[in-house]
């Protein structure tokens, strides 16, 4: 059992609305007000980050909520500096809640003389005094092994399964899950199993990074309501192209469920003009005003899952129980 009365939450600037939503959900679960620790996170004129914690955290179990999304380097440094401030203030335990783990796409050497940046970031996080990491849908599962501290990796597929069952309940028998590449088959298969749907794959070949030369659909998508499933959507070029190819192969309509909506550059404009009927993302990355205004982009919340996961870590109970739809459904009651 914990030594403190309640877990304490602290947030950087990466995704303050999500941190506040997590605090509200935890307040509901605990039956008492849980607020973010009063903190000042600011920058000096030369860009240096400064953190000051205004509350006593000695002996407390601290949870830092901070995605390392754009600007990735600034948000990563905020996380590290907050951890150092808490460690030097005698916090009992520091857990980093990183809804979107940046640098995860650099998980291996793709050619000679390139870094494995995900491993470097893992070393920095552990070196800052963080003792546990809670994240969602790591781009590569092996990143958990880069850490010498416990890592809990949550999955968005149970949330997506609830959403799909709600929005496609009248045509669920015609739904087909599609993986946008061979590497994402395991993720797509997991969601397909949850809703008892068939699986198709888009095989893509790249001439160079960011440019797709050829796409082939493996599986019969004719007359199906196709749902593309992936963990990250950055510029949306590949996603929109995959949707076009699927429609050309006879699909009735195409939707996409993506965990982390990076949506940089021309992404929102491409999605708005694409053949995709809808794109569903989570709020692991704070959405921009353009994303919120896009007519075919919808955001599902992760706060209920993260709030329960934090409480489970704090009380020493199972986090993997949140992978079970029956356990998750009551937490998301009223959202779908």
Share of the chain above pLDDT 90, in %: 85
Confidence of residue 186 (pLDDT cuts 50, 70, 90): very high
Pairwise CA distance, residues 78 & 84, whole Å: 10
- Segment 272-287 mean pLDDT: 97
* One domain for residues 23 and 77: yes
Q: What is residue 35's three-state secondary structure?
A: coil
Tell me whether residue 113 is in a domain.
yes
- Segment 167-191 mean pLDDT: 93
pTM of structure: 0.94
Alpha carbon 99 to its chain's center: 5
Q: What is residue 235's three-state secondary structure?
A: coil
Catalytic residue among 111, 171, 204, 277: 204
* One domain for residues 246 and 318: no
In sequence order, what are the residues at sequence separation of 6 or more whose Cβ sits closer than 8 angstroms to the Cβ of residue 56? 89
Tell me whether residue 92 is in a domain.
yes
Whether the per-residue pLDDT at 87 is higher than 50: the answer is: yes
Q: What is residue 78's three-state secondary structure?
A: helix
**3-state percent helix, strand, coil for the chain, nearest multiple of 5:** 35, 25, 40
* One domain for residues 14 and 49: yes
Pairwise CA distance, residues 244 & 237, whole Å: 11
Number of domains composing the chain: 2
* One domain for residues 267 and 317: no
Confidence of residue 6 (pLDDT cuts 50, 70, 90): confident
Whether the per-residue pLDDT at 213 is higher than 70: the answer is: no
Tell me whether residue 1 is in a domain.
no
Tell me whether residue 2 is in a domain.
no
Confidence of residue 334 (pLDDT cuts 50, 70, 90): confident
* One domain for residues 148 and 277: no
* One domain for residues 69 and 186: no
Instruction: Give the annotated binding-site residues.
Output: 46-48, 105-106, 139, 181, 206, 230, 234-238
Q: Is residue 26 a contact partner of residue 9, using CB atoms and an 8 Å limit?
A: yes
Q: Is there a catalytic annotation at residue 204?
A: yes
Residues 25-39 pLDDT 10s: 999 988 888 999 999
Pairwise CA distance, residues 82 & 76, whole Å: 10
Q: What is residue 322's three-state secondary structure?
A: helix
- Segment 151-175 mean pLDDT: 95
* One domain for residues 267 and 326: no
pLDDT value for 1? 39
Q: Is residue 160 a contact partner of residue 208, using CB atoms and an 8 Å limit?
A: no
CA angle 19/265/256 to nearest 5° reads: 70
* One domain for residues 280 and 314: no
* One domain for residues 28 and 143: yes
* One domain for residues 73 and 123: yes
Tell me whether residue 259 is in a domain.
yes
* One domain for residues 141 and 260: no
Q: Could you tell me the CA-to-CA distances from 118 to 43, 103, 123, 197, 235 in Å, in that order?
A: 25, 5, 9, 34, 21
Tell me whether residue 12 is in a domain.
yes
User: Among positive and negative, which fits the CA dihedral 233, 234, 239, 240?
Assistant: positive
Pairwise CA distance, residues 104 & 16, whole Å: 22
Tell me whether residue 118 is in a domain.
yes
Q: Is residue 13 a contact partner of residue 20, using CB atoms and an 8 Å limit?
A: no
Q: Is residue 324 a contact partner of residue 157, using CB atoms and an 8 Å limit?
A: no
Average pLDDT, the chain: 93
* One domain for residues 167 and 210: yes
Tell me whether residue 336 is in a domain.
no
Instruction: Give the annotated binding-site residues for ATP.
Output: 46-48, 105-106
pLDDT value for 2? 42
Q: Which residues does residue 22 pair with via DSSP β-bridges, in sequence order?
A: none
Whether the per-residue pLDDT at 207 is higher than 70: the answer is: no
Report which of residues 299 and 203 the model is more confident about: 299
User: Which CATH number covers residue 256?
Assistant: 3.40.50.2020
Pairwise CA distance, residues 117 & 132, whole Å: 19
Least trusted range by pLDDT, from 103-117, 250-264, 314-328: 314-328
Q: Structural domain of residue 85, as residue ranges?
A: 8-155+303-331
pLDDT value for 5? 79
Residues 224-257 pLDDT 10s: 999 999 999 999 998 999 999 999 999 999 999 9
């Amino acid at each position: 059992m914990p030594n403190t009365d309640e877990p304490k939450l602290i947030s950087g600037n990466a995704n303050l609305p999500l941190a506040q939503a997590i605090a509200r959900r935890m307040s509901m679960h605990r039956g008492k007000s849980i607020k973010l620790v009063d903190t000042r996170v600011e920058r000096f004129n030369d860009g240096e980050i400064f953190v000051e914690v205004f509350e006593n955290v000695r002996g407390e179990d601290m949870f830092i909520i901070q995605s390392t999304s754009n600007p990735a380097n600034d948000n990563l440094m905020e996380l590290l500096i907050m951890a150092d401030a808490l460690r030097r203030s005698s916090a009992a335990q520091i857990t980093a809640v990183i809804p979107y783990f940046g640098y995860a796409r650099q998980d291996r050497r793709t050619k000679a003389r390139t870094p494995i940046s995900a491993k470097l970031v893992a070393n920095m996080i552990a070196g800052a005094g963080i003792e546990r990491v809670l994240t969602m849908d790591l781009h590569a599962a092996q990143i958990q092994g880069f850490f010498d501290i416990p890592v809990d990796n949550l999955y968005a597929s149970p949330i997506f399964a609830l959403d799909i069952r709600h929005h496609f309940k009248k045509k669920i028998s015609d739904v087909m899950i599609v993986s946008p590449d061979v590497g994402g088959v395991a993720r797509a298969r997991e969601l397909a199993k949850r809703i008892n749907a068939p699986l198709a794959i888009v095989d893509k070949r790249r001439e160079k990074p960011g440019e797709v030369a050829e796409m082939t659909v493996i599986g019969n998508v004719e007359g199906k309501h196709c749902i593309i499933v992936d963990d990250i959507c950055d510029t949306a070029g590949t996603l929109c192209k995959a949707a076009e190819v699927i429609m050309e192969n006879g699909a009735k309509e195409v939707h996409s469920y993506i965990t982390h909506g990076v949506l940089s550059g021309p992404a929102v404009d491409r999605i708005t003009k694409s053949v995709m009927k809808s794109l569903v993302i989570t709020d692991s990355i704070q959405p921009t005003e353009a994303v919120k205004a896009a007519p075919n982009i919808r955001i599902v919340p992760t706060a209920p899952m993260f709030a329960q996961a934090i409480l489970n870590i704090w009380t020493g109970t199972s986090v993997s129980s949140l992978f079970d739809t029956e356990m998750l459904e009551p937490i998301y009651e009223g959202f779908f």
